Structure 1
Amino acid sequence: MPEIGRIVKVLRGKDEGDFAIIIGIVDDRFVLIADGDKRRFDQPKKKNAMHLLMQPVVSHEVTDSMRETGRVTNAKLRFAIQKYVQGKGE
Protein backbone atom coordinates (compact mmCIF):
# COMPACT_ATOMS: atom_id res chain seq x y z
CA MET A 1 0.00 0.00 0.00
CA PRO A 2 1.46 3.40 -0.92
CA GLU A 3 2.38 5.70 1.94
CA ILE A 4 4.41 8.87 2.25
CA GLY A 5 8.09 8.12 2.74
CA ARG A 6 8.03 4.66 1.13
CA ILE A 7 10.89 3.91 -1.24
CA VAL A 8 9.74 2.60 -4.62
CA LYS A 9 11.35 1.23 -7.77
CA VAL A 10 9.92 2.57 -11.02
CA LEU A 11 8.78 -0.24 -13.34
CA ARG A 12 7.47 1.77 -16.32
CA GLY A 13 8.39 4.95 -18.16
CA LYS A 14 11.63 6.74 -18.88
CA ASP A 15 12.67 6.49 -15.22
CA GLU A 16 12.38 2.70 -15.34
CA GLY A 17 14.74 0.97 -12.90
CA ASP A 18 15.31 4.10 -10.80
CA PHE A 19 14.43 4.47 -7.13
CA ALA A 20 12.27 7.28 -5.78
CA ILE A 21 10.29 8.15 -2.67
CA ILE A 22 6.55 8.75 -2.40
CA ILE A 23 6.00 12.33 -1.25
CA GLY A 24 2.27 12.60 -1.87
CA ILE A 25 -0.84 10.55 -2.51
CA VAL A 26 -3.22 11.94 -5.14
CA ASP A 27 -5.94 9.28 -4.89
CA ASP A 28 -6.21 5.49 -4.62
CA ARG A 29 -4.46 5.08 -7.99
CA PHE A 30 -1.88 7.87 -8.35
CA VAL A 31 1.00 9.03 -6.16
CA LEU A 32 3.63 11.77 -6.39
CA ILE A 33 7.26 10.62 -6.41
CA ALA A 34 10.58 12.46 -6.25
CA ASP A 35 14.21 11.41 -6.01
CA GLY A 36 15.85 14.74 -5.16
CA ASP A 37 18.00 14.61 -8.29
CA LYS A 38 16.20 14.36 -11.65
CA ARG A 39 12.83 14.74 -9.97
CA ARG A 40 13.00 17.41 -7.31
CA PHE A 41 10.54 17.95 -4.46
CA ASP A 42 9.00 21.05 -6.06
CA GLN A 43 8.34 19.20 -9.36
CA PRO A 44 7.30 15.66 -8.41
CA LYS A 45 6.22 13.04 -10.95
CA LYS A 46 2.61 11.89 -10.88
CA LYS A 47 2.81 8.12 -11.26
CA ASN A 48 0.34 5.26 -11.40
CA ALA A 49 0.92 3.17 -8.26
CA MET A 50 0.66 -0.02 -10.34
CA HIS A 51 3.80 1.05 -12.22
CA LEU A 52 5.81 1.12 -8.99
CA LEU A 53 7.36 -1.72 -7.03
CA MET A 54 6.90 -0.90 -3.35
CA GLN A 55 10.07 -1.60 -1.39
CA PRO A 56 9.84 -2.89 2.20
CA VAL A 57 11.43 0.31 3.56
CA VAL A 58 9.85 3.56 4.71
CA SER A 59 12.23 6.49 5.26
CA HIS A 60 11.35 7.89 8.67
CA GLU A 61 13.44 11.03 8.02
CA VAL A 62 11.23 11.86 5.02
CA THR A 63 8.01 10.91 6.82
CA ASP A 64 8.84 13.03 9.88
CA SER A 65 9.89 16.02 7.77
CA MET A 66 6.69 15.85 5.70
CA ARG A 67 4.56 15.60 8.84
CA GLU A 68 6.30 18.52 10.60
CA THR A 69 6.82 21.04 7.78
CA GLY A 70 4.86 19.69 4.81
CA ARG A 71 8.02 19.46 2.71
CA VAL A 72 11.36 17.68 2.56
CA THR A 73 14.74 18.74 1.20
CA ASN A 74 16.08 17.22 -2.00
CA ALA A 75 19.29 16.31 -0.14
CA LYS A 76 17.26 14.27 2.36
CA LEU A 77 15.54 12.42 -0.50
CA ARG A 78 18.89 11.64 -2.18
CA PHE A 79 20.40 10.52 1.13
CA ALA A 80 17.50 8.16 1.94
CA ILE A 81 17.64 6.54 -1.52
CA GLN A 82 21.44 6.25 -1.45
CA LYS A 83 21.36 4.66 2.01
CA TYR A 84 18.76 2.12 0.87
CA VAL A 85 20.56 1.20 -2.36
CA GLN A 86 23.93 0.78 -0.58
CA GLY A 87 22.33 -1.36 2.13
CA LYS A 88 20.69 -3.51 -0.53
CA GLY A 89 23.94 -3.99 -2.44
CA GLU A 90 22.82 -2.81 -5.90
Structure 2
Amino acid sequence: MSEYTGLLVKSTAGHDKGEFFFILREEGEYIYLVDGKIRRLDCPKKKKKKHVIPLLWEKQSPGDKIRENKRVTDEEIKHFIRCFKREDQVVRR
Protein backbone atom coordinates (compact mmCIF):
# COMPACT_ATOMS: atom_id res chain seq x y z
CA MET A 1 0.00 0.00 0.00
CA SER A 2 1.39 3.40 -0.91
CA GLU A 3 0.87 6.81 0.57
CA TYR A 4 -1.04 7.90 -2.56
CA THR A 5 -3.56 5.08 -2.77
CA GLY A 6 -7.13 6.25 -2.17
CA LEU A 7 -6.42 9.98 -2.53
CA LEU A 8 -8.79 12.26 -4.41
CA VAL A 9 -6.75 14.11 -7.04
CA LYS A 10 -7.25 16.64 -9.82
CA SER A 11 -5.52 16.15 -13.16
CA THR A 12 -3.23 19.03 -14.18
CA ALA A 13 -2.13 17.79 -17.62
CA GLY A 14 -3.44 15.91 -20.62
CA HIS A 15 -6.84 15.72 -22.26
CA ASP A 16 -8.44 15.07 -18.86
CA LYS A 17 -7.02 18.27 -17.30
CA GLY A 18 -9.28 19.57 -14.55
CA GLU A 19 -11.03 16.25 -13.93
CA PHE A 20 -11.21 14.52 -10.55
CA PHE A 21 -10.08 10.94 -9.88
CA PHE A 22 -9.28 8.53 -7.08
CA ILE A 23 -5.89 6.80 -7.06
CA LEU A 24 -6.49 3.07 -7.25
CA ARG A 25 -2.85 1.99 -6.99
CA GLU A 26 0.73 3.11 -7.51
CA GLU A 27 3.62 1.58 -9.47
CA GLY A 28 6.90 3.51 -9.40
CA GLU A 29 6.38 6.97 -10.86
CA TYR A 30 2.94 6.05 -12.22
CA ILE A 31 -0.47 5.97 -10.59
CA TYR A 32 -3.69 4.36 -11.78
CA LEU A 33 -6.77 6.60 -11.66
CA VAL A 34 -10.50 5.85 -11.59
CA ASP A 35 -13.53 8.13 -11.82
CA GLY A 36 -16.31 5.53 -11.95
CA LYS A 37 -17.63 6.87 -15.23
CA ILE A 38 -15.12 6.78 -18.07
CA ARG A 39 -12.24 5.27 -16.12
CA ARG A 40 -13.80 2.39 -14.25
CA LEU A 41 -12.23 0.02 -11.74
CA ASP A 42 -11.63 -2.61 -14.41
CA CYS A 43 -9.79 -0.17 -16.72
CA PRO A 44 -7.95 2.56 -14.73
CA LYS A 45 -6.01 5.39 -16.37
CA LYS A 46 -2.22 5.28 -16.07
CA LYS A 47 -0.72 8.70 -15.35
CA LYS A 48 2.50 10.13 -13.93
CA LYS A 49 2.31 11.36 -10.33
CA LYS A 50 3.60 14.80 -11.28
CA HIS A 51 0.51 15.38 -13.46
CA VAL A 52 -1.99 15.40 -10.59
CA ILE A 53 -2.49 17.42 -7.42
CA PRO A 54 -3.93 15.85 -4.26
CA LEU A 55 -7.06 17.37 -2.73
CA LEU A 56 -7.90 17.41 0.96
CA TRP A 57 -11.23 15.93 1.92
CA GLU A 58 -12.40 15.36 5.49
CA LYS A 59 -15.59 13.38 4.87
CA GLN A 60 -15.63 9.61 4.43
CA SER A 61 -15.03 8.71 0.84
CA PRO A 62 -14.48 5.72 -1.43
CA GLY A 63 -10.77 6.46 -0.97
CA ASP A 64 -11.03 5.11 2.58
CA LYS A 65 -12.35 1.81 1.23
CA ILE A 66 -9.60 1.67 -1.40
CA ARG A 67 -6.91 2.19 1.27
CA GLU A 68 -8.44 -0.51 3.48
CA ASN A 69 -8.78 -2.98 0.55
CA LYS A 70 -12.55 -3.09 1.02
CA ARG A 71 -14.98 -3.55 -1.86
CA VAL A 72 -15.78 -0.29 -3.65
CA THR A 73 -18.00 0.17 -6.71
CA ASP A 74 -17.82 2.46 -9.72
CA GLU A 75 -21.19 3.91 -8.65
CA GLU A 76 -19.80 4.97 -5.25
CA ILE A 77 -16.82 6.65 -6.90
CA LYS A 78 -18.93 8.38 -9.54
CA HIS A 79 -21.45 9.62 -6.96
CA PHE A 80 -18.76 10.97 -4.63
CA ILE A 81 -16.97 12.87 -7.41
CA ARG A 82 -20.27 14.32 -8.65
CA CYS A 83 -21.12 15.55 -5.14
CA PHE A 84 -17.59 16.89 -4.64
CA LYS A 85 -17.84 18.92 -7.87
CA ARG A 86 -21.21 20.30 -6.81
CA GLU A 87 -19.88 21.41 -3.40
CA ASP A 88 -16.70 22.81 -5.00
CA GLN A 89 -18.80 24.98 -7.36
CA VAL A 90 -20.90 26.30 -4.50
CA VAL A 91 -17.80 27.34 -2.54
CA ARG A 92 -16.24 29.17 -5.52
CA ARG A 93 -19.25 31.41 -6.20
Asked if Structure 1 and Structure 2 have the same fold, meaning a TM-score greater than 0.5 normalized by the shorter chain, the answer is yes
- 1:28-83, Cα deviation, whole Å (9 max, x unpaired): x21110101111111001110100021112774423433243x5210011112112
Q: C-alpha separation between the residues in 2 aligned to 1:79 and 1:49?
A: 24
3-state DSSP of counterpart to 2:50: helix
Q: C-alpha separation between the residues in 1 aligned to 2:61 and 2:30?
A: 23
Q: Unaligned stretches of 5+ in structure 1?
A: none
Contact 2:13/2:51 (<8 A) preserved: yes
- Give 2:9's aligned residue: 8
Contact 2:31/2:48 (<8 A) preserved: yes
- Give 1:54's aligned residue: 54
Deviation at 1:20, TM superposition (A): 0.9
- Residues 48, 34 of structure 1: CA spacing in aligned structure 2 closer, same or farther, 3 A cutoff? same
Contact 1:12/1:52 (<8 A) preserved: yes
3-state DSSP of counterpart to 1:82: helix
- Pairs aligned (count): 87
The structure that has the greater radius of gyration is 2
TM normalised by structure 2 equals: 0.78
TM normalised by structure 1 equals: 0.80
Q: C-alpha separation between the residues in 1 aligned to 2:18 and 2:51?
A: 11
The structure with the greater share of residues assigned to strand is 1
Q: C-alpha separation between the residues in 2 aligned to 1:60 and 1:11?
A: 24
Contact 1:5/1:59 (<8 A) preserved: no
After superposition, the CA RMSD in angstroms is: 2.0
Q: Unaligned stretches of 5+ in structure 2?
A: none
Contact 1:22/1:34 (<8 A) preserved: yes
Q: Percent identity?
A: 26
- 1:5-46, Cα deviation, whole Å (9 max, x unpaired): 21111111111111111111112x211101011111110011
